[in-house]
């Protein structure tokens, strides 16, 4: 029982980080209806930028974090303007294929700059784990969860209560109506990509601090697809709840299934969940169900 509780608590902490990365997907999808399959590479780039500032410049973490966010906003704006703006009005499959190509390109650039060498993140959080009595959460996972929760709350507050957030919600609901009210839809598209890139890069810092970084850590972004499909592509609450569910199920799979099959089931579990959800409830637990009648 103690092991089960430990695994569930660790799964919740892991799911909180997944939820933050999923939030990056949702913020972009809600405003632009684009599923960015390069989000994993955005995440990896954020981890490498933060790592480089910390290790090469010997800068404090808050400065490395701030510079990573600046990089995220620049990347989001450049991608929206140079890559996706010319594709407005094109079939959605074309846009998705472009995001796949963008991810491959970013991975290749990171491969050339940082090489495929695995790196351990510098110590940025206190090393003491969190003792709960019934469970212990490692330092990296615990502080990563705090950072992920704080970032998620800030993004939600911006989305719900700020003028930019209201404009983003209006654009997500009806672009024509938003234009008639004087909202710059193109500007909102760019801002959505900036916020989405920032959420994914913060997630990359957290994942990198826990597991170390390499050019292949972007594969976590594909695992997060199960999170957003479970919660609903256009649901912020669904991204958070879906992250918690997938994090717990993944850890339970590692506890009960991995010993039976010799390992590896934990990494496959998100994709199994993904296929299962698509078969049963393709719009997710909290996603908007759209029915077209012809």
Residue 241 pLDDT: 86
Long-range contacts of 49-55, Cβ-Cβ distance < 8 Å, separation of 24 or more? 49/201, 50/201, 50/204, 50/205, 50/208, 51/119, 51/121, 51/122, 51/208, 51/213, 52/114, 54/121, 54/122, 54/124, 55/122
Q: What is the mean pLDDT of residues 181-198?
A: 86
- φ, ψ at 233 (rounded to 5°): -60, -30
CB 54 within 8 Å of CB 122: yes
pLDDT digits (tens, 9 = 90+) for 37-81: 888 899 999 999 999 999 888 889 889 999 999 999 999 999 888
CB 60 within 8 Å of CB 234: no
Res 21 pLDDT > 70: yes
CA–CA distance, 46 with 196 (Å, rounded to integer): 12
Q: What is the mean pLDDT of residues 185-189?
A: 83
- Tell me the pLDDT of the chain averaged across its residues: 84
Residue 175 pLDDT: 76
Res 224 pLDDT > 60: yes
Would you place residue 1 in the very low, low, confident or very high pLDDT band (cuts 50, 70, 90)? Answer: low
Res 222 pLDDT > 80: no
End-to-end CA distance of the chain: 54
Res 293 pLDDT > 60: no
What's the DSSP call for residue 146?
H
Res 156 pLDDT > 90: no
Residue 68 pLDDT: 93
Adjacent-strand bridge partners of 130: 137
The structure's pTM equals 0.87
Res 119 pLDDT > 80: yes
**56 by DSSP, 3-state: which?**
helix
CB 132 within 8 Å of CB 9: yes
pLDDT-above-70 percentage for the chain:
97
- Segment of 105-109, 167-171, 177-181, 236-240 carrying the highest mean pLDDT: 105-109
Res 209 pLDDT > 60: yes
Q: What is the mean pLDDT of residues 198-216?
A: 88
- Give Cα separations from 54 to 63, 112, 119, 137 (angstroms): 9, 20, 13, 25
215: tokens are 């050019």
Residue 8 pLDDT: 85
What's the DSSP call for residue 87?
G
Q: What is the mean pLDDT of residues 94-100?
A: 86
């Amino acid at each position: 029982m103690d092991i089960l509780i430990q695994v569930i608590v660790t799964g919740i902490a892991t799911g909180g980080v997944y939820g933050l990365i999923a939030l990056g997907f949702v913020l972009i999808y809600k405003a632009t209806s684009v599923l960015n399959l390069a989000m994993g590479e955005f995440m990896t780039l954020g981890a490498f930028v933060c790592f480089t500032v910390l290790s090469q410049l010997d800068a404090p973490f808050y400065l490395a974090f701030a510079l990573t966010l600046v990089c995220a906003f620049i990347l989001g704006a450049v991608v929206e303007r140079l890559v996706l703006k010319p594709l407005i009005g094109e079939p959605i499959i074309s846009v998705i294929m472009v995001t796949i190509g963008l991810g491959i390109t970013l991975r290749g650039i990171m491969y050339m700059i940082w090489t495929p060498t695995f790196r351990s993140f510098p110590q940025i959080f206190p090393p003491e784990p969190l003792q709960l009595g019934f469970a212990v959460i490692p330092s990296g996972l615990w502080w990563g969860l705090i950072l992920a929760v704080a970032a998620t709350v800030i993004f939600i507050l911006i989305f719900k209560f700020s003028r930019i957030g209201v404009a983003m919600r209006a654009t997500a609901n009806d672009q024509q109506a938003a234009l008639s009210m004087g909202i710059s839809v193109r500007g909102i598209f760019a801002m959505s990509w900036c916020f989405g890139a920032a959420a994914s890069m913060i997630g990359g810092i957290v994942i990198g601090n826990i597991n170390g970084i390499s050019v292949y850590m972007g594969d976590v972004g594909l695992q997060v697809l199960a999170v957003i499909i479970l919660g609903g592509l256009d649901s912020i609450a669904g991204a958070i709840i879906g992250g918690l569910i997938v994090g717990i199920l993944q850890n339970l799979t590692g506890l009960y299934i991995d010993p039976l099959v010799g390992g590896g089931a934990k990494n496959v579990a998100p994709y199994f969940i993904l296929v299962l959800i698509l078969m049963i409830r393709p719009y997710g637990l909290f996603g908007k169900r759209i029915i077209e009648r012809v």
